[in-house]
Amino acid sequence: MKTTTLTLFAIILVLVISPISARATFIAPTATINKKTTLGPNVQILDYSKISKSAKVLDSAYVDGFVEIGKKVVIRNNAIVSGSSRVLSGSTVSNNAKILNNSYVKDGSSVSGFSVIDGTSSIESQSRIFGSASISGNVRVIQSSTVRDKAIVQDSVIVKKSSTVRDNARVTGSAVIDKRSTIRDNSTVSGTSRVRGATIQGNAALYNASFINGKSVVIKDYATLYSYAYVSHNASIYGHATLRDNVRVLNNAKIYDSATLSNSVEVRDNARVYGRASLSGSAIVEQNATVSGNAKIIGNVRISGNAKVSGNAQLSGNLIITGDAVITGDAVIGGTMVISSGTITDRYTGEFVRNFTPQ
């Protein structure tokens, strides 16, 4: 009885002192490992994996499949590399990160913190992926770019030139994030949209082939852009504003509140469109002009100078509203004419047409 008790005590002692016995380092006979390769505790190297002599596989890392681990690579802290993935040239995979299928990590890049790289995606040239980020499909993250903090990047997206996707943002399709751009918060960029040097934040969304160009451009809040919308040079789109179908917003212009621009409208210089204003056709708003309220602009209307259009005004045709003209109230004006001064608040009648210069 005494011998049995001592034997049982010895078994328990071994289990307490050596908890790694169930997960001891294992190297499959089919794996290729150089004698100088550094291996840590609890490492699993399976199937036909190839490990370079200067690589380090440490701390419960798991390597499985036709994986290649190249020179000066470090795989550690419960990281998983599997499938036919390759981790090369001084890169690091750590802290529960997963490199799956045919993914590629190289050039001193790092993947960590429960992040997942899947498909045929490539992380290159000192880029960083961390904070439970998810990358899948045929994504390329290159040139010191970062994807972090639960961001999702998938399909055929390219993130390059020190750009960042972060904070639950989602980038899909064939979008290109370029030139120190930041996509953050809960924003979405999709389709063939391109962002160069701009910030997309809040719950803003870019769809189809929108193009955002310029380091001081900001798209934020619930702003939504569709179908070849183009924004550049310090312009801002925010609130619940909507742009679609070849709209152009340039040169410090601002579109905000619930304003809607469509077709081939252009807003530029220091112009402002806000409220629930709606512009369509080939309308142009420029210089210091403002369109606000529930104003509706249709056709080839041009608003410039310090002109103001507001209230429930409706403008159409080939109008030019310029100078210090104010169109407000329930004014309805169409046809072909130039209005450069005065205030119009009422529906168009034959009376006031004589007070303005026909175009």
Per-residue pLDDT of 247-259, as tens digits, reads: 999 999 999 999 9
Report the CATH number that the domain containing residue 286 is assigned in CATH: 2.160.10.10
DSSP string, 10-39: HHHHHHHH-GGGGG--EE-TTSEE-TT-EE
C-alpha closest to that of 356 among 330, 328, 329, 322:
322
Q: Does residue 7 lie within any of the structural domains?
A: no
Query: What pLDDT is stored for residue 167 in this prediction?
Result: 97
**Residue found under tokens 């469109």:** 273
Number of domains in the chain: 2
Q: Does residue 205 lie within any of the structural domains?
A: no
Contact, 314 vs 328, CB < 8 A? Answer: no
Q: Does residue 332 lie within any of the structural domains?
A: yes
Domain housing 345 = 260-359
Q: Which of 87, 122, 157 is the last residue of a domain?
A: 122
Q: Which of 76, 93, 122 is the last residue of a domain?
A: 122
Q: Does residue 35 lie within any of the structural domains?
A: yes
Q: Does residue 338 lie within any of the structural domains?
A: yes
Q: Which of 89, 122, 155 is the last residue of a domain?
A: 122
Query: pTM here?
Result: 0.89
- Residues with pLDDT less than 70, the chain: 1-23, 347-359
Helix (H) or strand (E) holding 4: helix 2-17
The CA distance from 85 to 63, in Å, is 10
The CA distance from 216 to 306, in Å, is 24
Q: Does residue 87 lie within any of the structural domains?
A: yes
Q: Does residue 167 lie within any of the structural domains?
A: no
Q: Does residue 168 lie within any of the structural domains?
A: no
CA distances from 101 to 31, 104, 353 (A): 18, 9, 72
DSSP string, 188-254: EE-TT-EEES-EE-TT-EE-TT-EEE-TT-EE-TT-EE-TT-EEETT-EE-TT-EE-SS-EE-TT-E
pLDDT tens digits, residue range 280-338?
A: 999 999 999 999 999 999 999 999 999 999 999 999 999 999 999 999 999 999 999 99
